[in-house]
Amino acid sequence: MSLPEEFSHGYDFDPKFSKSVAYFSMEFAIDQPLKTYSGGLGFLAGSHMRSAYEQRQNLIGIGILWKYGYYDQIRKGDQSMDVLFSEKKYSFLTDTRIKFNIEINGHPVAVKAFFLKPEVFGTVPMFFLSTDLPENDYLAQSTCHKLYDSDPSARVGQSILLGVGGATLLEKLGHKPEIYHLNEAHALPAAFHVYSKTRNVEDVKKRFVFTTHTPEEAGNEKHDINLLDRMGFFCNLPLKEVRKVTGIKDNTFNHSLGALRVSHIANGVSKLHGEVSRHMWEKYDDLCPIHHVTNAQNKKYWLEPDMEEALNKGDIKKIREIKRKRKIKLFEEVADQTGKLLDPDVLTVVWARRYAEYKRPDLITRDAARFHKLMRQTEHPIQIIWAGKPYPMDYNAIHTFNHLVRLSESYDNMAVVVGYELRLSRKLKYGSDVWLNNPRITREASGTSGMTAAMNGSVNISTDDGWMPEFAKDGINSFVLPAVDFKKPHHEQDLEDLNNLYDILEEKILPMYYNSPEKWDEITLNSMRDVVPYFDASRMVTEYYDGIYNFDEQQ
């Protein structure tokens, strides 16, 4: 059944994409004013919604309206990082007037749905669920307060809101999608809600697909099955039946494993991640097949039109001119935040993504003597900018952020900025010359920031992880660190990657940028040309229909 007219897509579906899909995600990065995201998962989901709209697909998005967003990243008086939770309000969302109850922890919780019209930001129809209603007590209201709440019970409640609330909303809309797409396992309760109606697990499997973003089993969310049962995660199904449906026999319920057993097809988010995922789960039986659809980003949103025009003409002089102007705009932001005046004629390296231990934000600084020499030398000057949000309760990551802030006090050509959201992300990609990405190999499922950086003339230097093996041609369109043995102890991997990173910077990138600008321009152009069309999300959303949503039709 189609959506009511007031919530329609506003276009005729492309026949290739006529199968109806509901896409569930805990976060969506649609546009800067809408603070319903934390990082990469949201950036990916936001691009999916935009490109699905551009391709005229029969897909809708379902998420949660986070009252306080993820958090606002600010500074304390001593310039170290602080976390601020401020209330968000949006005049551009429409009250659907749809309200219903779901059960969380044995209590009825009122849910209201808000609608994002396609014309507001150029997305498919999107619905956002809220429990911040006067008829709810404070505990129920707080279910939608903070994205990725640190309290385990709150996190479970949020999954129930997304999964059961989203599935119930579809029923209230009279919309019965042919495919339920779980972007990560957060919305898994939707599968138990659907199962509870028919008690037919094959019917559930026929309708559910699952995208996993986590490249190691330990990183997948787990909870005590009895806690989930009490909270209503399984929609009041008997635990014996839950165990039969999911094949989980012990008391530790792995959400991703459950999703792999109630879906008919799953996918990793890069070719390498697909391989890693199949290996990671191969010891388990009764799983659906795990394919891959490599992540991508929406070119229309991320690529500056004047930069695209210059690229299409092969006008490297114009690209250099645009890049310099964009660097000046970025450096105004840096100066405003840090009081540092960076030079638009100096090679600028940016590291910007979520602060996490495996992403190694401080790797380049770990050899203090070599870092000092790099930052002080004047023959081939360099500037480095860091940005990114740690998880607000990840005190180790916050410590790393603060360590870099302290270190930056010794260097006028080093800056650490706060507020890494969509607007700042664009500025950093427009204004950087080099995009630094150095996770430990196999730990980054895909990574997408380097895609949008490449679109805008920033050259990647990266470990060969995630999406990079499908894109990178070392020395031609990017620079790739030699692979290290990921089975070695972390400190050995880190040392090898650190030395290789310095060798590439000192022996290749810096001399080329200053002494062989024509060669640098060639790599920049190759990078920009090679990243599109494959890493534009129009390819990705097409592959989801071809290989995931229509998977059964190909068998």
Does residue 268 sit in the same domain as residue 173?
Answer: yes
pLDDT at 74: 97
Lowest mean pLDDT: which of 104-118, 207-221, 469-483?
207-221
- Segments forming the whole domain that contains residue 363: 299-535
Does residue 286 sit in the same domain as residue 430?
Answer: no
pLDDT at 552: 80
Mean pLDDT of 224-234: 98
Q: What is the pLDDT of residues 240-252, one digit of tens each?
A: 999 999 999 999 9
pLDDT at 524: 98
468, 474, 475, 479: CA torsion to nearest 10: 50
Does residue 282 sit in the same domain as residue 343?
Answer: no
Does residue 116 sit in the same domain as residue 235?
Answer: yes
Mean pLDDT of 123-137: 98
Does residue 247 sit in the same domain as residue 228?
Answer: yes
Does residue 217 sit in the same domain as residue 112?
Answer: yes
**Residue type at 91?**
S
pLDDT at 555: 55
Does residue 246 sit in the same domain as residue 306?
Answer: no
Lowest mean pLDDT: which of 20-24, 341-345, 444-448?
444-448
pLDDT at 218: 65
Q: Is the dihedral of CA 529, 530, 531, 533 positive or negative?
A: positive
Mean pLDDT of 268-276: 95
pLDDT at 308: 96
**Residue type at 262?**
V
What is the average pLDDT value for the chain, to the nearest integer? 96
Token reading at 139: 């505990």
Does residue 506 sit in the same domain as residue 410?
Answer: yes
**Considering its fold, how many domains does the chain have in total?**
2
Q: What is the pLDDT of residues 53-65, one digit of tens each?
A: 999 999 999 999 9
Do the beta carbons of residue 464 and residue 496 sit within 8 Å?
no
Q: In the chain, pLDDT over 70 holds for what percent of residues?
A: 99
Regarding pTM above 0.95, the answer is: yes
Pairing relationship of beta strands 81-84 and 265-268 according to DSSP bridges = unpaired
Q: In the chain, pLDDT over 90 holds for what percent of residues?
A: 96
Residue 553 pLDDT > 70, yes or no? no
Pairing relationship of beta strands 21-25 and 179-183 according to DSSP bridges = parallel
Output the DSSP codes for 205-255: HHHEEEE---SSGGGS-EEEHHHHHHHTTTTT--HHHHHHHH---SSEEEH
Do the beta carbons of residue 517 and residue 319 sit within 8 Å?
no
Does residue 252 sit in the same domain as residue 352?
Answer: no
Does residue 105 sit in the same domain as residue 140?
Answer: yes
Q: Tell me the sheet residues that pair with 253.
A: 223
CATH of the domain at 427: 3.40.50.2000
Does residue 382 sit in the same domain as residue 250?
Answer: no
Does residue 418 sit in the same domain as residue 513?
Answer: yes
